[in-house]
Structure 1
């Protein structure tokens, strides 16, 4: 465990050398794809899995909620990686820039994990953020200074709160052992990200009401 400002940062097994290079290239491609989507230059919907009903896998039944979990975690990374990259350049507060860097780096690892999990389970993942997430990226692009910092922190904090609820629900109900293990890993990341965002001092009681 690496600690930053009293926040425990989870570590997944991480290959060095060539593996790190490939991960960086993949994350850069995801960031580029998200930015292209935000600019409206993609005309092909890329929402991921469209099947309904349960399917059989070697790890147990794969239910619609399980596929939804993978989709939401993937889409969270597709907008939070470019948002984190942007915040490192535009945020006015050093702590916000530091948190943005840590969240982006961790989403790179989580993105590798969700793609590998989806591939094992035969789930097609989205390749761009959803409409709300594209709107949030556009909103951030129009902010500066303290307004940018607050918008970045509160948008990400609210988004993490929503996906945390999805992860917890799937963790409690899934019949698939692969999804169960993934949800535990994802939950550690999301919980850490909420704590990091709260450490900026911008997630006040009034902001959450």
Structure 2
């Protein structure tokens, strides 16, 4: 992977693992609320990045994979929002600045480099997502959030397996 491509991948990953918002960083969050907020922003990112991939990837298989990631994340986010509402956990209605930065990187990546960026960044992002989910399963108290985390882990594992078919 070229140095430029590596820098681009790291920019996307760094943007998505940064604190969700300045307000979130100041609040004291319990693990369940933190998971719901993180999962929501991650889903918003995956929906946007998946949709960009469905249009921009040069590989038809990656275009289909991007569309699948977006659809799976949209379904997961419906469950996240419903659970957050039941537990009275406020979620940011819009993607945060870190998600917006990742979207900008995906949109500005030259077509010739896009497929590799997608596979590399998604591999790293799904590894990070698995760690976040496992932390909820270890530290979370709310049964509904833990159930949601188990569902998310199954989706993340399926996505990681799909990414494995592209050599990562």
Q: How does the TM-score come out when normalised to structure 1?
A: 0.64
CA distance in 1: counterparts of 2:45 and 2:142, whole angstroms: 27
The Cα of 1:68 is off from its aligned counterpart by 1.1
1-structure distance, mates of 2:23, 2:165: 33
Question: Which residue of 52, 60, 82 maps to 2:28?
Answer: 52
Q: 1:145 aligns with which of 95, 108, 111?
A: 111
1:177 aligns with 2:143: yes
1:136–1:155: 8 Å Cα contact kept in structure 2? no
Question: Does the Cα contact within 8 Å between 1:72 and 1:163 map onto a contact in 2?
Answer: no
The reply on whether 1:120 has 2:96 as its aligned counterpart is no
Report which of the two has the higher share of helix: 2
For residue 57 of structure 2, what is the aligned residue in structure 1? 91
Instruction: Please name the residue that 1:160 is paired with.
Output: 126
Deviation at 1:156, TM superposition (A): 2.0
Work out whether residues 48 and 125 of structure 1, in 8 Å CA contact, stay in contact via their aligned partners in 2: no
Count how many residue pairs are aligned between Structure 1 and Structure 2.
Answer: 148
Moved more, 130-139 or 76-85: 130-139
1:87 aligned counterpart, secondary structure: helix
Q: Show the 5 A alignment for 1:1-209.
A: 51-52=27-28, 64-201=30-167, 203=168
Inter-CA distance 159–179: structure 2 relative to 1 (3 Å threshold)? same
Q: SS of the counterpart of 1:123?
A: coil
Matches of 2:49 and 2:120, distance apart in 1: 12
- Deviations along 1:132-165, whole A, 9 cap, x unmatched? 3322211111123341111122222212211210
Contact kept, 8 Å, 1:49 with 1:124, in 2: the verdict is no
Which deviations, in whole Å up to 9, do the C-alpha atoms of 1:105-141 show, x marking residues without a partner? 1111101110111111110112233333322211111
Of the two structures, which has the highest relative contact order with CA contacts closer than 8 Å and spacing of 6 or more? 2
For the structure 1 residues 77 and 47, does the alpha-carbon distance in structure 2 shift closer, same or farther, using more than 3 Å as the test?
farther
TM superposition score normalised by structure 2: 0.79
